[in-house]
Amino acid sequence: MDFRTDLALERCEFLGKKETEGVIIEEFEAKKARVSRITVANERGEKLVGKPKGLYVTVEIPPFAQHAQFIDDSLDALVTEIRRLLPEKGSVLVAGLGNMKITPDALGPKCASMIFSTRHITGELLKETGLSGLRTVSSFSTGVTGDTGAQAGEILKGLIATLKPDAVITVDALAARSVSRLGNTVQMCSTGIVPGSGVGNARQEISEKTLGVPVIALGVPTVVDAATLITDYSGQAEASLPDGTQNMMVTPREIDLMIERAAKLTALAINCALQPDISPEDMLILTA
């Protein structure tokens, strides 16, 4: 089975109840959100799920395109899960991955632009703000190799050497197998990310193994592979599909609105997870 998806939850759905050795799944409702925590515990689990060992969390919330209220139970669920993955203390670099010029891929850069960066707030400036308990946060948008000539992983290695963060949070658009998961799902994991892997354009791995610090990868699925969509709904064999279908991706027509709201909600969730002493209402003002 060729799993054209970045979501660990979708990969696990194909396992059913047949084989779960090495894969631990916990699911629960958190008011407006549904949370799934998947632990890939060993090599057997890695083979079954096709993902490295670690924790994968999926939070399913009301659709972004219909969700204009950001401070609610959905935000609370996201903040709780991000905090569970983050080190309790230390500085954090938030990296937005993706291409600002392509709407379905613009989640990372848009989110990074709304991160409350605090690394520069020190000394007298820190006293003047009255926010002495601020966690040190930096943010950066890596761009894409076609524009910069460098892969995101290479850029992050240079930033880490200079900024010396204790952890990295990456934000990127993902690919899903099911259209029902577009625009209402957030995945985060402790294993990092291989940018572009869900759309067949894999780049350099971004993980603790490659960067030397813990990497929490957060993303929202914004596209579905066209060939997968057609074969799933029609039962038609992929080999019989028209030429070029395998290279096409499908995205919702309200993708502009979906990306804007997804970026705002994920940025707010990251900000609130990193700065628990600041209320969500005040955080929206600080990052407006």
Task: Give dist(CA 140, CA 155) in Å, integer.
Answer: 10
The SS3 assignment for 189 reads: strand
> Considering the entire predicted model, what is its pTM?
0.90
Q: Exposed, middle or buried: residue 62 (CB in 10 Å: 0-12, 13-18, 19+)?
A: middle
Fill in the DSSP letter of residue 193: B
In CATH, what number is assigned to the domain containing residue 180? Answer: 3.40.50.1450
Cβ neighbours, 10 Å, residue 118: 22
Residue 80 belongs to domain spanning: 8-277
10-36 confidence digits (pLDDT tens): 988 877 655 577 899 999 998 889 999
Band (1; pLDDT cuts 50, 70, 90): very low
Among 8, 18, 24, which residue's Cα sits nearest to residue 187? 8
Fill in the DSSP letter of residue 242: P
Residues contacting 184, CB < 8 A, separation 6+: 60, 61, 62, 63, 64
CB 13 within 8 A of CB 4: no
46-60 confidence digits (pLDDT tens): 988 889 999 999 999
List, in sequence order, every residue forming a beta bridge with 137; answer none if it has no partner. 92
Task: Give dist(CA 134, CA 127) in Å, integer.
Answer: 11
The structural domain count of the chain equals 1
Flag whether 1 is in a domain: no
CB 82 within 8 A of CB 216: yes
Flag whether 126 is in a domain: yes
Flag whether 254 is in a domain: yes
Task: Give dist(CA 269, CA 115) in Å, integer.
Answer: 10
Does residue 232 surpass a pLDDT of 50? yes
Does residue 244 surpass a pLDDT of 80? no
The separation between CA 49 and the C-alpha centre of its own chain, rounded to angstroms, equals: 18
Task: Give dist(CA 220, CA 218) in Å, integer.
Answer: 7
- Mean residue pLDDT of the chain comes to 88
Flag whether 283 is in a domain: no
Flag whether 188 is in a domain: yes
Flag whether 101 is in a domain: yes
Flag whether 3 is in a domain: no
Count Cα neighbours of 151 within 13 Å in the Cβ-side half-sphere. Answer: 13
Rounded to an integer, the average pLDDT of 172-180 is 91
CB 168 within 8 A of CB 216: yes
Cβ neighbours, 10 Å, residue 2: 9
Task: Give dist(CA 169, CA 143) in Å, integer.
Answer: 16
Flag whether 2 is in a domain: no
